[in-house]
């Protein structure tokens, strides 16, 4: 109770089959899972969408299905700011704010394969979460550029 448990899986192992179950390095069947965090991706800003789809889109969907299968209450998908199409910032009193992004806006991004793969994954997860009656809520976080420690 109240502990963090890590389970690793190869997100590319199922290729382009989102229904292929993840093969985990440890069993989650005996645990009471409250949340699943999917932080895996193939990061390559030089690759085409088709080369990133298996890991970044179908791997994310397999992680969501894992969360549902273990009855997790929350699924957190670590996406990327690269998924968000460029848009103006709206003035909000003394600061700035961003209007919510719709799945159709996400899919309008077409300039790089990595950003597109993350946008498609977000839209697919949104659809899976809203069309499912399992009670697993979706949260998406979009970190900005993450680089190596120097």
Length of the chain, in residues: 150
Which burial class, exposed, middle or buried, applies to 85 when counting CB atoms under 10 A from its CB (0-12, 13-18, 19+)? middle
Q: What pLDDT score was predicted for residue 138? A: 95
- Nearest-5° Cα angle at 36, 31 to 40: 125
Look up the pTM and report it. Answer: 0.80
Q: Report whether CATH 3.40.50.720 matches the domain 35-141.
A: yes
In a structure prediction context, what are the per-residue pLDDT tens digits for the chain, which is 150 residues long?
A: 567 777 777 777 766 666 666 777 666 666 778 889 999 899 988 999 999 999 999 999 999 998 888 888 999 999 998 888 776 666 555 555 556 676 677 667 667 899 999 999 999 999 999 887 778 999 999 988 777 766
Question: Domains of the chain: which residue ranges?
Answer: 35-141
CB-based contact 94:64 (threshold 8 Å): no
Task: Give dist(CA 141, CA 125) in Å, integer.
Answer: 13
């Amino acid at each position: 109770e109240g502990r963090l448990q890590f389970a690793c899986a190869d997100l590319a192992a199922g290729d382009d089959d989102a229904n292929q179950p993840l093969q985990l390095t440890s069993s989650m069947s005996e645990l009471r899972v409250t949340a699943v965090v999917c932080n895996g991706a193939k990061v390559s800003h030089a690759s085409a969408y088709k080369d990133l789809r298996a890991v970044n889109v179908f791997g994310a969907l397999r992680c969501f299905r894992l969360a549902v299968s273990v009855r997790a209450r929350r699924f957190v998908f670590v996406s990327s700011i690269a998924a968000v199409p460029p848009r103006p910032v709206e003035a909000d009193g003394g600061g700035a704010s961003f209007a919510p992004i719709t799945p159709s806006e996400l899919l309008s991004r077409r300039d790089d394969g990595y950003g597109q793969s993350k946008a498609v994954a977000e839209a697919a997860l949104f659809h899976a979460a809203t069309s499912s009656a399992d009670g697993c809520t979706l949260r998406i976080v979009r970190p900005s550029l993450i680089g190596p420690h120097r």
